[in-house]
Structure 1
Amino acid sequence: MTVALMWEARAAQGRGAELLAWVRGQRLSPAPLRREVLRAPQDRVLVITWWDAEYDADVPELPEPAGELVSRSVHRWRFEAVEG
């Protein structure tokens, strides 16, 4: 089974580039099968990681950035792949 974790944060005013750099510097151990980093208006950063694991498996997740770097708590979602 494949499970995908989504992690989304909104940077504090004017700190989008810094949040993006912070995300890129975070390492997960073990590494996921795949990892994508995306950005959007309003200095939002989205990270999607894919794992060969069950839906409720304990897999590494990105932490919360330092409070002054983000304008709100990180949002997290978990999805499982479906075939067909």
Structure 2
Amino acid sequence: MTVALMWEARAVAGRGAELLAWARAQTLPSPPLRRETFRAPQDRVLVITWWNAPADAELPELPEPDGELVTRSVHRWRFESLGEG
């Protein structure tokens, strides 16, 4: 089964590039199958990691950034892949 973990944070205005660099610099204790990083308007950063694991598996996640870098707590979601189509 493939599980996707989504991590999304919103930077303090004007600090989106710093948040993006911070997210890219974070390492996980074990490597995911795939990791992709996105940015969006309003200085938001999204990281999705894919894992070969059961839906309820204990998986490593990116931490919370420093409170002075973000406007709110990180949003996290977990999805189970249902395949294409």
TM-score by length of 2: 0.96
Shift of 1:29: 1.5
Q: Does 1:55 align with 2:55?
A: yes
Aligned positions, number:
84
Shift of 1:74: 0.4
Secondary structure of the residue that 2:60 maps to in structure 1? coil
2:18: which partner in 1?
18
Letter in 1 for 2:45: V
Secondary structure of the residue that 1:24 maps to in structure 2? helix
Shift of 1:52: 0.4
Q: Unaligned stretches of 5+ in structure 1?
A: none
Please give the alpha-carbon distance, in whole angstroms, between the structure 2 residues aligned to 1:71 and 1:63.
15
Q: Unaligned stretches of 5+ in structure 2?
A: none
Letter in 1 for 2:64: E
TM-score by length of 1: 0.97
Please give the alpha-carbon distance, in whole angstroms, between the structure 2 residues aligned to 1:79 and 1:22.
24
2:28: which partner in 1?
28
Please give the alpha-carbon distance, in whole angstroms, between the structure 2 residues aligned to 1:10 and 1:33.
25
Identity, % of aligned positions: 76
Please give the alpha-carbon distance, in whole angstroms, between the structure 2 residues aligned to 1:68 and 1:11.
9
Q: Which consecutive segments of 4 or more residues in structure 1 shift more than 4 A?
A: none
Letter in 2 for 1:75: H
